[in-house]
Amino acid sequence: MNNGPAANWHDEPTDFGQLGKLPRGLDAPAAAIGALNITSATTDEKLLDLPWDLALEDWPVANLAALPRGLSRHVVRFAHLSGSVIAIKETSEHVARHEYHMLRKLQRLDVPCVEPLAVITGRRTADGADLDPVLVTRHLRFSLPYRALFSQTLRQPTLTRLIDAQALLLVRLHLAGFYWGDVSLSNTLFRRDAGAFAAYLVDAETGELYPELSTGQREYDLEIARVNIAGELMDLHEGGLIEEKIDPLDTSERIMDVYRKLWAELTGQESFNLGERWRVNARIRRLNELGFDVEEFTIKTTADGSTIQLQPKVVDAGHHQRRLLELTGLDAEENQARRLLNDMDTYRADNHPDLDQELSAHAWLRHVFEPVVRAIPRELQGKLEPAEVVHQLLEHRWYLSENQNRNVPLAEAVQSYIDTILRHRRDEAAILLDADAPAGTAEPDGGPAPAG
């Protein structure tokens, strides 16, 4: 393995300076190539072992992880690092540093995005030629670019769920004061979320953070999203990868409608009569169902005291995620958390109606969630993340019980799910695809792949 040149290693806000000694195995000729400058959020020394003196397109196969790549204007490669996978993008130093810092800030704001690991500059080839700097991010496990989420033809239900997830991500970014500037399906990664998708920002090079976005900034971002999505769908339509009945231009309008409805529900002012104060709690419940918590309301009354004006002042995403985490320690996507909490409540009503909620949650964890996860054979554990497996198992058990008109035991449902559904899925922890393969390599409409 190539050991690469010596390095200056920086973290935020600490500057580690010049490394006291060269990495093990580094010889004098390699050290003479030049000094890497690394700004990093990780101190994993194996980062230095990667072949930084080669252009990304020339990296040896031994270093690469065969994962599907989205469309990009830059050269992007996935590589192995200490048992995980990283994404490496060649770009300019200014862009790399800007995107690195934007992603760091978004992570602190708890916005769904990829994790930035490093910016590496000072790269040179063995003969001394300069190479482009790179941005290194951690690959988001169980996530896929949109073109890897469907099989021969992208169907309308899958497309609808993708656009809905993109709209929700854009709302969350705008609530945090982030102007994206390049909203598209290609700049987003998607993870399965209990029948829907959860969207994560993967490209922040055009983004900027503000204390608050103006209506004009939000609308411009939304227009960029509409135009880019229309172009992406027209590209799929021309390649025969989208259902013939789908109109790319009409479909791209969906993100406008979904975004505006979400934004109005989350931030809009509501007026009602003094006797209708129950509508305050009703508004909170609606926001909770959308996955948002309300930290503060602004409430004003008219001069005659007959009307109340209500407006949410601060909203945080992840209502069900936080509740599940508090009760069980499980970290899941929002819809997965909602589904697991519903089953947890049913379990408590059927088995321990008088038991404290926290104690009942731990009983559910021991007797439902953990047995299901342990039952998955080792060779199938990369198919889906555990929370999605349990969600799908619960759905499968319900269908079996309905079809057989009996309450199918959990153990029986688990075995049926493993044999008839899970075993025939592709692995989403690390999908082995030809990086340049067409989109027709995944299962249709987000469902199980056909056997064989």
* pLDDT for position 274: 72
Average pLDDT, the chain: 82
* pLDDT for position 445: 40
Please give the CATH number for the structural domain made up of 144-265. 1.10.510.10
Comparing 10-14, 324-328, 380-384, 389-393, the range with the smallest average pLDDT is: 10-14
Strand partners, 84: 81
What average pLDDT score do residues 217-234 get? 96
pLDDT grade for 438, boundaries at 50, 70 and 90: very low
pTM: 0.75
Per residue in 319-345, pLDDT (tens digit) is: 888 889 989 999 888 889 888 998 998
pLDDT higher than threshold 80 for residue 16: no
Of residues 141, 150, 145, 157, the one with CA closest to residue 449: 150
* pLDDT for position 195: 82
- Decide: helix, strand or coil at residue 109: coil
Q: Is 7-139 in CATH node 3.40.50.300?
A: no
* pLDDT for position 35: 79
Max distance between CA atoms of the chain, in angstroms, equals 84
Identity of the highest mean pLDDT range in 212-216, 270-274, 394-398, 426-430:
212-216
Per residue in 249-290, pLDDT (tens digit) is: 999 999 999 999 999 988 888 887 777 777 777 888 888 888
Sheet containing 188-193: order of strands:
143-144, 188-193, 196-201
* CA dist., res. 329 & res. 270, Å (int): 36
* pLDDT for position 449: 31
pLDDT grade for 447, boundaries at 50, 70 and 90: very low
pLDDT higher than threshold 90 for residue 11: no
pLDDT higher than threshold 80 for residue 9: no
For residue 365, the 8-state DSSP code is I
* Of residues 450 and 101, more confidently modeled: 101
End-to-end alpha-carbon separation of the chain, Å? 36
* pLDDT for position 69: 56
Share of the chain above pLDDT 90, in %: 43
For residue 367, the 8-state DSSP code is I
Q: For residue 308, which phi and psi values (nearest 5 degrees)?
A: -115, 135
What average pLDDT score do residues 411-429 get? 84
- Decide: helix, strand or coil at residue 274: helix
What average pLDDT score do residues 173-191 get? 94
Identity of the highest mean pLDDT range in 1-15, 166-180, 319-333, 372-386:
166-180
* pLDDT for position 331: 87
Per residue in 144-156, pLDDT (tens digit) is: 888 887 756 788 8
**Tokens for 371?**
């047995």
**Tokens for 48?**
């230095």
pLDDT grade for 382, boundaries at 50, 70 and 90: confident
Q: CB–CB of 169/191 below 8 Å?
A: no
Of residues 226, 224, 167, 174, the one with CA closest to residue 198: 167
* Of residues 13 and 242, more confidently modeled: 242
Per residue in 110-138, pLDDT (tens digit) is: 899 999 999 999 999 988 899 999 999 99
Per residue in 21-62, pLDDT (tens digit) is: 333 333 433 443 357 888 887 777 888 889 999 999 999 988
